[in-house]
Structure 1
């Protein structure tokens, strides 16, 4: 049995109801958008992706994936809220499912649907795995980043335009502001 008073349980019940209403409102507002049943062309309103820039299709795909992930996360949260109401009815609310110890009221205020104390929260571990891309990425050049101060006075990408500008530009006389002036014959 939990150490929570009836007043605390009532307060937490109200918070759970508020969260449940917020989630219900989200799904009501988005029920017209059944993202999985529509094809990408139906959801974007385009007849074909062939006439669009690939970046446009990529953006639409990203947005659709993001919306699906948000809905999945909120649906999971809704399930956790329903489970919390079930635990309240059973009288086990506020007790950790893993160790059986009481969950502090402060934690329940922050996450009213949690079923675990901080020590036994699932998926709490952080991964030390690094992205696979890091195995094939070449390190930055010696003059970049932290080492830039050590390479003072040497050529680096930041000074490239200054060096190129000394030799003129590739603009034609037609691009010059002053008529009759030859831009690339500028003695500088």
Structure 2
């Protein structure tokens, strides 16, 4: 059971934590779009790495904002519990939460044993969602076969042009070093002789 001095100390801690979380929430929720974050009128001429940095900053601010909002909610619940006299009792077993735990996590409403169970169930929900296969409900078994993905897409066409299938050997010119005359020289000579024949 907490004495009045301990409760007052914890209440002060909670109020300070709430103020800090509110400052974080205020600073991280001001800029929402990449355009606002970077101050650029157009993102067209920016390097992709700059865009990646700007996007990272936005996502980081959103996560910090969500974390601050979550902390504020937990702190409000703890302050309400202080007001109604239920602060310091575990929500599950109604046993007293040790003062040392409350010093470490003043907004907690669970004893250490039940906090681990609650956190574990939340973690399991997250990991189970990550492990779910989006194609699980699909009847077609090839939708999961990622090895043949390109072949399936290539059935609808590729960006290969007819020039991609021509032999790269260039036969227009031959090599003078090997003693063979250039084909272009022959063509020029023929053109000259044809022109002189036409003039006669």
**TM-score, normalized by length of structure 1?**
0.60
Q: What residue ranges of structure 2 are gaps of 5+ in the alignment?
A: 132-200
Partners of 2:40 and 2:23 in 1: how far apart? Answer: 29
In structure 2, relative to structure 1, the CA distance for the partners of 1:47 and 1:78 (3 Å cut) is same
Q: Give the match for residue 119 of structure 2.
A: 123
- What displacement does 1:5 show? 1.2
Partners of 2:112 and 2:120 in 1: how far apart? Answer: 9
User: Aligned match of 1:49 in 43, 61, 64?
Assistant: 43
Count the aligned residue pairs.
Answer: 127
Q: Give the match for residue 34 of structure 1.
A: 30
Alignment of 1:32-181 (within 5 A): 34-36=30-32, 39-121=33-115, 122-124=118-120
SS at the partner of 2:113? helix
Partners of 1:129 and 1:67 in 2: how far apart? Answer: 24
Alpha carbon RMSD of aligned pairs, Å? Answer: 2.5
- What displacement does 1:24 show? 3.0
Query: Rg larger in 1 or in 2?
Result: 2
- What displacement does 1:102 show? 1.1
**TM-score, normalized by length of structure 2?**
0.56
Partners of 1:6 and 1:43 in 2: how far apart? Answer: 47
Q: What residue ranges of structure 1 are gaps of 5+ in the alignment?
A: 133-188
SS at the partner of 2:109? coil
Q: Deviations over 1:36-66 (max 9, x none)?
A: 3xx3223211222221111110111011100
CA contact (8 A) 2:22 2:68 kept: no
